[in-house]
Chain A
Amino acid sequence: MLGFIARRLMQSLIVMAVVSAVSFSLFNFVGDPVNNMVGQDATRERREQIREALGLNDSILTQYGRFVGNMVQGDFGLSYRIKRPVDELILERLPATLELVFVSAILAMGFGIAAGVYTGIRRDSWLSRALLSGSLVGVSLPTFIIGIGLIYVFAVNLRWLPSSGRGGTVDLGWWSTSLLTADGWSSIILPAITLSLFQATMILRLVRAEMLEVMRTDFIKFARARGLGERTINFGHALKNTLVPVVTIIGLNIGNLIAFSVITETVFQWPGTGLMFIQAVDFVDVPIMAAYLVFVALLFVTINLLVDILYVAIDPRIRIGTA
C-alpha cells in the first residue's frame, strides 16, 4: 500500500514538473517580458537594467529553478494587464468557480444516480427509454448551446432567472459566497444546470450499466432466494456494490467540471477563474495563463491521486493485485 502511494506520488510529481516547464516556457515564447513592462520609448540602458533585475540574463535552468521556487510559494508575478499579483486574482475568483462546481456536482450526482438506478431496475419502462435516449442527446449537446437555450427560455422569454453574473455575495473573511443570498441562488441555477447536464448523463449511463451488471451476479440471486424485499436488494445490495466505480468516475469528473466551467462561465459571464482564463488568453496575459495551467494540473493530479488511493482503500480486490 505504501509503495503504491509512493509510486503514484512520484508520477504526480513528474506530471507537475512537465506542466510547470511548459508554463515556464510560455513566458519565453510568448512575447518579450521586458516589452510587456516598459513603454516603447524606454532607453536601452533602462531595458538592460530591467532585464538584469528580472534575472533574464541568467541561464535557462537557473530561471526555471527560480520559477518553480516562486510557484511553490504561490507567486506567479504580476498580471500584465491588471498589474496585480496573479495568486491574489485567482484566490479572489476561486470561490465563484468552486461554488458553481460544487452545486453542479450535487445536481449531477443526484439526478445521475437516481435516474441510473431507475433505468437499471425498470429496464423496459417508457421513462427509462426516454431517459436513455435523452442521455444520448445530452452527450451530443455542446455545453454552450445548453447555456444559450436556457438563457433564451428562462431569462429572455420567461424572465424568471438572471442571465449573467453571480448576484449578491456575502463576505466571509477570505471567502465571498453567493450561496447565502436569494439572488445568488437564482443566479447559480442556470449555470449549474448547464454545467451538470453532461456529467449527469455520464453518471446515468455508468450507474445503469453497473446496475445491470450487478443484477446478474450470484449474490443478488442468493438475496432473492433468501426472500429479501425488492427494496433491500436494489439499494442495500445492488446499489452499494455499484458505488466503487461510480465514486471513481465522479471524483475524476470534478476536474472536468472545473475545465468545462471555462465555457459555462463565459456564457453566463460568471466571475470565476474560467472567465478570467479566457480573458487572459484574449489579452495574452501570460502570468495568468501560466498560473491557471499549473493550477488546473495540480487539481487534476491531486484528484487522480486521491481517487486512486481511495479506490485501493475501498476495494480490497485491487490491493491483492498491487501488493
Chain B
Amino acid sequence: MTDAAHDRRDDGSEHPIRPDEDLRPRADDVGQPPPPGFWRRAADSDVFYSFVRSPTAMVAAAVTILSMLACFAAPLIAPFDPFDPAQISLWDGKLPPAWAEGGRAEYLLGTDNQGRDMLSTILYGGRLSIIVGLAAVFLGMALGVMLGVISGYLGGAVDALIMRVADVQLTIPGLLLAILINGIARTMLPPESRDELAIYVVIVAIGLTDWPQFARVVRGATLVESQKEYVLAARVIGLPSWLIMLRHVLPNVLRPVLVLATIGLALAIIAEATLSFLGQGIPPTTPSLGTLIRVGNEYLFSGLWWITFFPAIALVVLVFAVNLLGDWMRDALNPKLR
C-alpha cells in the first residue's frame, strides 16, 4: 500500500511524468546511473522511512495483515467447519474456554450455544466482516472518486448538483442512513431470498453512505490538478474529457483517497457489526462478527461470557489496528507535518 502510494506521488503533482512514460536510460544520458527500480525507490522513500521509524505503525500493520490472512485462510486453519452439521454436536454446546473449569482442549475458546467451536466461528465471521468492509469501502470509494473527478473537472451545473447531493447526505449521520437504506432494501426483496442477499444489501447500504467524503476530497484535488500544464496539454491535443479524467487526472488525485479508504475500512467494519448487532445485517446462518456478538449477548446474563467476549475482542483488535494504521498514514502522507 505504502509503496503504491509513494509511486503515485513521485509521478504526480510536481512534474508531469506519468507512470507509463518510458523511464529507461536513453542514448543521450549514457554515463549516468540507471534510475533506481521500484523496490529501491520504495525503500528510499520517506513514507517507508517513517514506517520503519514508527513501532506503532509496524505493529498495527502486522496485526492488520495477520488477522486478515488468518481470516481469509479460515477454511485451511480453523480447527472445525462451523457450517458443517456433521462436525457440530449440541452436546458440546456452551463449553467454556479450554483453560476454564469444564473446558475441553479441542475447543480453545469454548463453544457457542449450538456447539460450534468459537475460534472457528470467529475466523469465518471475521472473514465475512472483512469482506463486507472491503467491498463497502471499495464501492463508496469508486462512487465517490468517480463523482469527485467528474464534479471537479467538469464544474458548472454538474458540480453544483453532485456537491449539493453530497451536502444533503452529510446532514444525516452515515450509520442511520445505512440502517435506513438497509431496511428499505430488505423490505423490497422477496422474503425467501432476503437472507441470501443480506450480505450484498449491507455492502450497498454502507457503500452508499460513505461516498460523499471521497467525492469532496477528490473534487478538491481535481480542481488543483486540472489547472496544471499536463492537463492543459492533454486538452490541447484534443483528447476527450473522459479520457483526460481517467488517464491523467485520476492517477494524480488518488493519494488522499488512500488515507480516507483506510479509516473508512475501520468505519465500515464497525458499521457492518452494528447493523448485524441490531439484527438488520448478516443473518445468523452465516454469522459475521457483529452477528456473533448479538447471538452471544443473549447468553451474557446466564454467565456464558465467552460467546460474546471473544468475537467482540476480535472486532475491537481488528478495528483498532486499522485505525492506528490510518492515523499513521494520515501523518506520514501529510507534507505539512514533515
Contact = CB atoms under 8 A, between A and B. Distances in A.
A255 B315 CA distance: 26
Given A152-B300, A263-B278, A142 B176 contact: no
A156 B304 CA distance: 11
Interface in B243-277: 266, 270, 273-274, 277
B188 A148 contact: no
Contact of A296 (B176, B183, B273, B274): B176
Interface stretch (B64-72, B74-82, B318-326): B318-326
Interface residues on B, range: 35 or more
B300 A148 contact: yes
Contacts of A144: 273-274, 277-278, 293
Interface in A297-319: 297, 300-301, 304
Nearest to B324: A136
A156 B293 contact: no
A151 interface: yes
A26 B183 CA distance: 11
For the complex, would chain A's binding face be called helix, strand, loop or mixed by DSSP majority?
Answer: helix
A243 interface: no
Contact of A262 (B179, B273, B300, B301): B179
B187 A148 contact: no
Interface in B160-175: 164, 167-168, 171-173, 175
Contact of B301 (A29, A30, A156, A263): A156
Interface string B106-135: 000000000000000000000000000000
A260 interface: yes
A29 B184 CA distance: 9
B158 interface: no
A141 interface: yes
B295 to A, nearest CB: 12
Contact of B305 (A26, A30, A152, A296): A152
A30 B280 CA distance: 17
Contacts of B274: 142-144, 263
A204 to B, nearest CB: 15
B187 A284 contact: yes
> B-side binding surface: helix, strand, loop or mixed?
helix
Contact of A301 (B171, B300, B319, B327): B171
A140 B323 contact: yes
Interface string A257-297: 00110110010000000000110011010000100010011
B183 A142 contact: no
A223 interface: no
Interface stretch (A13-21, A69-77, A96-104, A224-232): A13-21
A14 B323 CA distance: 35
Contact of B270 (A142, A297, A300): A142
Contact of B173 (A149, A256, A289): A256
A60 interface: no
Interface string B305-338: 1001000100110011001100100000000000
B45 interface: no
A139 B293 CA distance: 19
Interface of B: 164, 167-168, 171-173, 175-176, 179-180, 183-184, 187-188, 266, 270, 273-274, 277-280, 293, 297, 300-301, 303, 305, 308, 312, 315-316, 319-320, 323-324, 327
What are the 4 closest A-B residue pairs judged by CB atoms, nearest first?
A281-B183, A259-B173, A140-B320, A259-B176
